[in-house]
Structure 1
């Protein structure tokens, strides 16, 4: 028998019942703690089951390393920056424009029509891309080439134009024009950036670079009569801009006009030629990481794709050496935390390959690698 304070003598069966209840409470607390740990460790686009399986594998690998006495290398640097303070809170005093799903123009997602470097401005430079169905030429003005971060403003405009066209087709509004006029706070919220004075001032430079970066696209396609035609057209990433400042001298509103070819892609025909972009795209820090996500979204979609490192380098417009590009790309592969897609390297006959697989289709059959 067991004698507990304040309870008096207990039968053995009663004591065992209390022990079972204690063990059940401990197990429930342990399960709840583990569930919270799995939820906190889940990567963008990863389901709870996928995160749990990955953690089990990581824990087993760590235990094997401890048992063997091997020294574990430090974890890879993450490709995803932390969201700014207040990112999760809506601003109730301005229209919640950032709630619109992010869209991107499908026709230019497999080439970089901007620079991927934060430091190298590439003023006056030209990038040429040769594609299977034509070529793309990107020319920078004296203010510098637009960056992949500058292009966030174009993504926002494309997203809202797509949403407005959907409403127009449903008979819920007028057909939208090419001019987009958001409040600066809405731009920063949509692009998941801090709402500070420097960020607002930087948007002026963004508009200048987008307006002076020219993109010429030549594509060969089938006409309605069945004949093959080649279409060449060129325009700046935005046709014009206007910045309205408050009495304090800070930008308050931005007015931009989308390039005509982008506008026609979205407004002509029944199905706009755009793809939805994951909201965590704006948190990807390396420029190469952003380009790889865009490429995966365009090439892999909801399945998988395989591209040669060399082809990705050629399509990125990178001004750096191929060796350095591969080093950065391998860091991104090792971190493997881009939204929606699993990344891995694979050996190929002509060099290393990047395998991009949507996280919901890990067993997808891969097509032949591009650019090999």
Structure 2
């Protein structure tokens, strides 16, 4: 017969998962506070300032006539629920790839079979789309989630608190939608399948000139898809996907797992609420170029690095709408006159500034 006493001591799986999630929330919140602390501030002062900034941004968003940030879905958690990580194509010595769009920024234009080429000072990046269309900046949310969990798993492994993670990520569809701050609807679930196909068939090739071990210059060409493989497990009764498997490409996995200092950057949770694709690109650009300081880029350079199919005039109009709304997470946007045309000024909120120009 079952032991009654032991049964009474068992913790329901749901309660256990809830406890684990609460511990994770506390850890992530602590990390965010530590990263944003100013000299002389106490833990409580930093936490209070971040809450005030988040509340201010939320109020500004509701007051804008043309906000860039959409409303969170029903049941969305608090902003400190998670702090995902941002990773872009390339090894540690090719971080300039973070300044180009390796995906399309338009929801309407699928760009099937198209190629985008970015010429850089020491080489070029080429993005090629398959028949299903080029992966979008919204599709890339799945890569961000996979890298976020891989980074956390590696941190636990290095601390001796878990096993070394593999390349395959096994999330439930509901967890993906929650992480990406999307509504839990049937269409959203179906769209995930299309996103996985596009990520798997969008190829990124990189050619760069670098110094070899003997000091001679050499050209290195390499390329992979945004994800190596995927599997979708659906309900036989409804046909709706319930969970997926995502295998990260070798270059990305090695960078997070083998590098001493993985080239990852944190993303504000509201990144997933940015509605315009160009807005998402500019946030990523600011995160990479400005960091916790300030960066100035010409409108023309931003246009060239975005891979946009629109005209420069239309692109400039969109940038000015973003500047007018000025509601992107973490960064204030402004326009400044430059010698060769207007400049986009991206300024991190809240710190003393040093300027990084490009």
Name the residue aligned to 1:80.
Answer: 69
The TM-score normalised by the length of structure 2 is 0.78
Correspondence for 2:88 among 105, 110, 122: 105
Indicate the residue corresponding to 1:364 in structure 2: 353
Distance in 1 (CA, whole Å) between partners of 2:160 and 2:255 is 20
Q: What are the superposed Cα offsets for residues 17-42 of structure 1, whole Å, 9 maximum, x if unpaired?
A: xxxxxxxxxxxxxxxxxxxxx88960
| Match among 281, 302, 322 for residue 332 of structure 1 | 322
Alignment-derived partner of residue 130 in structure 2:
141
Deviations 1:62-91 (A, max 9, x none): xxxxxxxxxxxx95411000000001179x
1:214 to 203, 215, 234: 203
Select which of 162, 167, 185 maps to 1:196: 185
Q: 1:242 to 1:39 in 2, by over 3 A?
A: closer
How far apart in 2 are the matches of 1:310 and 1:275? 25
1:182 aligns with 2:182: no
- Paired with 2:55 and 2:247, the residues of 1 have a C-alpha distance of 41
Equivalenced residue count is: 297
Secondary structure of 2:228's counterpart equals strand
Q: Which structure 1 residue ranges, 5 or more long, are not aligned?
A: 1-37, 45-50, 55-73, 91-97
Q: Distance in 1 between matches of 2:192 and 2:255?
A: 25
Q: Which one of 336, 339, 358 corresponds to residue 346 of structure 1? A: 336
C-alpha RMSD of the superposition: 2.2
TM-score after normalising by structure 1:
0.75
2:244 to 254, 258, 264: 254
**Hey, what's the Cα distance between the residues in 1 that align with 2:82 and 2:291?**
22
**Structure 1 position 258, deviation (Å):** 0.9
SS in 2 for 1:281: helix
User: Does the C-alpha gap of structure 1 residues 161 and 39 become closer, same or farther in structure 2, counting only changes over 3 Å?
Assistant: closer
Q: Please, which of 85, 94, 117 is the counterpart of residue 106 of structure 2?
A: 117
CA contact (8 A) 2:296 2:346 kept: yes
1:240 to 229, 234, 244: 229
2:161 maps to 172
Q: Deviations over 1:123-160 (max 9, x none)?
A: 00000001123211000011000000000000001111
| Residue 42 (str. 1) matches residue 56 (str. 2) | yes
Cα distance between partner residues in 1 of 2:168 and 2:339: 49
Shift of 1:204: 0.4
Rg (Cα) greater in structure: 1
Q: Are the equivalent residues in 2 in contact too, given 1:179–1:256 (CA < 8 A)?
A: yes
**Contact between 1:104 and 1:277, CA under 8 Å: does it hold in 2?**
no
Q: Say if 1:181 and 1:340 are closer, same or farther in 2 by CA, change over 3 A.
A: same
Between 185-194 and 226-235, the greater mean CA deviation after superposition: 226-235
Say if 2:111 and 2:129, in contact at 8 Å, map to a contact too. yes
TM-superposed CA distance for 1:314, in Å, is 0.4
